[in-house]
Amino acid sequence: MRKFLSVNPDICIGCRLCELACAMSKENVFNPKKARIKVDMIGFPEVPVPVFSRLCDSCAGKPQCLKYCPVGCITFIEGNPKPDQKNIVLTEIVAEDWLERNTRKKEEDNADNT
- Alpha carbon 103 to its chain centroid, in Å, reads 20
For range 109-113, the mean pLDDT: 76
Helix or strand or coil: residue 25?
helix
Instruction: Round to whole Å and give the CA distance between 69 and 59.
Output: 15
Instruction: Round to whole Å and give the CA distance between 61 and 59.
Output: 5
Instruction: Round to whole Å and give the CA distance between 109 and 28.
Output: 47
Instruction: Round to whole Å and give the CA distance between 98 and 41.
Output: 12
Catalogue all structural domains in the chain, each as residue range(s) with its CATH number: 3-113 (3.30.70)
pLDDT digits (tens, 9 = 90+) for 19-58: 999 999 999 999 999 999 999 888 778 888 888 888 888 8
Q: Long-range contacts made by residues 55-58, C-beta under 8 angstroms, separation at least 24?
A: 56/5, 56/22, 58/3, 58/4, 58/5
pLDDT band with cut points at 50, 70 and 90 for residue 104: confident
- The residue ranking higher by pLDDT, 109 or 39, is 39
pLDDT digits (tens, 9 = 90+) for 57-99: 888 889 999 999 999 999 988 875 555 444 445 666 777 777 7
